[in-house]
């Protein structure tokens, strides 16, 4: 009787070794990365101009602009909630991006045909508009990703996908420097609008390449399967109510609030030092652009080397706790030395950790909530709560300055906030892990069968046919 030789185990592929990326995930990840590249290119084309225009009437005016931005964001949320309730997914994504493209065209018309009407007031209007635009276009991107990828995939792949956005954040300022002189500043608005249209095309392609399937990894057992042709439905105000009814969503909102308060402290400290160093708008724009570019290079290095490994090895809680620790240490260094170089290092480290580690981990928190919460509650948390933190941080920093408490006083406020921020991040990591559904017991034989091929793959990957694999590997949550 001949002896049966068991099949040799497959060697891990290069992509899986380097990026923990499986072959069937390459297409969706590339599309999502291109999507984020287009979004961040559009944003970073315009961001230095936004900051420079906002400083035209002094730093105190920016504090009031933050209040206006928060109020506008709060007013826009019900409209967005209505769109989510009444339109299909690609329709409300298209409506959101289309609105901002039309807004860019309107600003272009104003700059081209009525340049005399452009002044400090219109610059402030652009500042508020851009601040709302910045949050909504990125929020829609991440909401769609949490709707297409599982919790496990979010932990493994969101940092890799974020590299597309980082490359866009590097490419945007470079493109501005190359096109500003030959095309003129007004035409850069049309270039940014073109990238938004490309982003919308990537959203359509991502939905087509990664169709829905039934939920397998979230605790929301009551949420039924909804195809692309179906509307999410529900109340316009469902997102706001969900945030205050769910401890988990309230925790995410609190984490974002603390993060934006402390980041705003860094932001205003930077503006004050830049105002002292550069008098003209052009000089400030150039300095801000250089800071942005080198910060994005640091973000790219983190995403390429550490982020995915930190999240998969230590969990979301540790990944979420790194930013408050880094921010607290940076403020201690700033209080001791107080130089512009230390401030730039603090801001670069803060942004690098925030975008390279914290953002992918924070977005993975939303992979375990219902679809309605992904689009409605996430919109409220990622826009209004974000801007509310800006307002609190701006007013607190201004009050401390009026009391004569400079960097030392700011550092004394940062320390207790950072401790609460760390504790909340660790709690959210544990809460997210508890919400992930274990595979059902009946699926155990199938899981054992596929274990020799790829121990990390889920049951659906081991048993699905090639035609089913695409729809199974990227869930609607």
Question: At CB < 8 A and 24+ separation, what contacts does 206-211 make?
Answer: 206/28, 206/31, 206/32, 206/35, 206/144, 206/148, 207/89, 207/90, 207/144, 207/148, 209/27, 209/28, 209/31, 209/470, 210/28, 210/148, 210/470, 210/471, 210/473, 210/474, 211/470, 211/471, 211/474
How many Å apart are CA 354 and CA 378, to the nearest integer? Answer: 18
Calculate mean pLDDT across residues 181-199: 87
Q: Indicate whether 6 belongs to any domain.
A: no
How many Å apart are CA 161 and CA 43, to the nearest integer? Answer: 17
Q: Which helix (H) or strand (E) holds 185?
A: helix 185-209
Q: Indicate whether 450 belongs to any domain.
A: no
Domain with 32, as residue range(s), is 22-212+238-437+455-473
Q: What is the pLDDT of residues 314-352, one digit of tens each?
A: 888 999 999 999 888 888 887 777 676 777 777 777 777
What does each C-alpha distance from 146 to 104, 224, 279, 425 come to in angstroms? 28, 16, 44, 19
pLDDT at 426 over 80: yes
Q: Indicate whether 61 belongs to any domain.
A: yes
Q: Can you list the alpha helix ranges (DSSP code H) found in 403-465? A: 407-435, 444-451, 459-463
Which stretch of 59-68, 101-110, 194-203, 214-223 has the lowest confidence by average pLDDT? 214-223
The mean predicted confidence, pLDDT, of the chain is 76
Question: Which residue has better confidence, 432 or 117?
Answer: 432
pLDDT category at 179 given cuts 50, 70, 90 is confident
Which stretch of 82-96, 175-189, 429-443, 454-468 has the lowest confidence by average pLDDT? 454-468
Question: Which residue has better confidence, 310 or 211?
Answer: 310
Which stretch of 68-77, 142-151, 348-357, 440-449 has the lowest confidence by average pLDDT? 440-449
Question: Which residue has better confidence, 16 or 36?
Answer: 36
- Taking the CB of residue 1, how many other CB atoms lie within 10 A of it? 3
pLDDT at 11 over 60: no
Calculate mean pLDDT across residues 82-111: 89
Q: Indicate whether 375 belongs to any domain.
A: yes
pLDDT category at 169 given cuts 50, 70, 90 is confident
Number of structural domains in the chain: 1
CATH assignment at residue 322: 1.20.1250.20
CB 360 within 8 A of CB 159: yes
Q: Indicate whether 9 belongs to any domain.
A: no
- List the one residue out of 159, 163, 167 whose CA is nearest residue 307: 159
How many Å apart are CA 395 and CA 17, to the nearest integer? Answer: 47
Helix 89-113 × helix 120-148 angle, to 10°:
160
Q: Indicate whether 445 belongs to any domain.
A: no
CB 285 within 8 A of CB 48: yes
Q: What is the pLDDT of residues 372-414, one digit of tens each?
A: 899 999 999 998 898 898 889 888 877 877 766 666 667 778 8
Please give the pLDDT value at position 405. 62
Question: Which residue has better confidence, 451 or 276?
Answer: 276
Calculate mean pLDDT across residues 49-68: 68
Q: Indicate whether 390 belongs to any domain.
A: yes
Please give the pLDDT value at position 60. 67
Q: Indicate whether 374 belongs to any domain.
A: yes
- List the one residue out of 432, 443, 300, 267 whose CA is nearest residue 366: 432
């Amino acid at each position: 009787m001949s002896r049966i030789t068991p099949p040799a185990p497959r060697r891990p592929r290069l992509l899986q070794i380097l990026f923990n990326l499986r072959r069937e995930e390459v297409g969706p990840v590339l599309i999502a990365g291109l999507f984020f590249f287009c979004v961040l290119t559009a944003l970073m084309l315009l961001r230095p101009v936004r900051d420079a225009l906002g400083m035209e009437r002094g730093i105190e005016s920016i504090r009031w602009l933050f209040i206006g931005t928060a109020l506008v964001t709060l007013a826009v949320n019900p409209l967005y909630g209505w769109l989510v309730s009444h339109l299909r997914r690609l329709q409300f994504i298209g409506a959101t991006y289309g609105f901002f493209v039309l807004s860019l065209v309107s600003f272009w018309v104003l700059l081209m045909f009525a340049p005399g009407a452009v002044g400090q007031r219109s610059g402030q209007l652009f500042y508020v508009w851009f601040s709302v635009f910045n949050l909504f276009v990125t929020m829609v991107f991440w909401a769609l990703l949490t709707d297409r990828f599982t919790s496990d995939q979010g932990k493994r792949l969101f940092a890799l996908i974020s590299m597309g956005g980082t490359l866009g954040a590097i490419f945007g300022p470079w493109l501005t420097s190359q096109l500003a002189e030959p095309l003129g500043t007004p035409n850069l608005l049309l270039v940014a609008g073109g990238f938004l249209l490309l982003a919308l095309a990537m959203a359509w392609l991502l939905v087509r390449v990664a169709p829905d399937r039934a939920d397998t990894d979230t605790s929301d057992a009551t949420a039924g399967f909804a195809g692309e042709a179906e509307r999410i439905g529900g109340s316009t105000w469902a997102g706001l109510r969900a945030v205050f009814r769910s401890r988990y969503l309230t925790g995410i909102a609190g984490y974002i609030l603390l993060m934006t308060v402390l980041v705003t402290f860094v932001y205003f400290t930077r503006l004050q030092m830049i105002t002292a160093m550069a008098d003209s708008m052009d000089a400030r724009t150039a300095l801000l652009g250089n800071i942005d570019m080198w910060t994005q290079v640091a973000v790219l290095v983190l995403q390429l080397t550490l982020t995915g490994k930190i999240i998969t090895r230590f969990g979301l809680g540790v990944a979420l706790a790194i930013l408050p620790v880094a921010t607290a240490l940076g403020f201690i260094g700033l209080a001791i030395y107080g130089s512009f170089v230390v401030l730039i290092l603090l801001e670069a480290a803060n942004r690098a950790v925030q975008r390279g580690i914290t953002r992918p981990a924070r977005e993975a928190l939303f992979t375990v909530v219902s679809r309605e919460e992904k689009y409605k509650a996430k919109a409220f948390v990622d826009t209004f709560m974000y801007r509310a933190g800006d307002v609190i941080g701006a007013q607190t920093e201004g009050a401390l300055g009026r009391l004569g408490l400079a960097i030392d006083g700011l550092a004394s406020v940062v320390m207790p906030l950072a401790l609460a921020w760390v504790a909340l991040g660790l709690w959210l990591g544990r809460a997210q892990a508890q919400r992930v559904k274990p595979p059902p017991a009946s699926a155990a034989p199938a899981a054992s069968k596929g274990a020799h091929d790829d121990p990390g793959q889920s049951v659906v990957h081991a048993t699905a046919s090639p035609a089913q694999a695409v729809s199974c590997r990227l869930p609607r949550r």
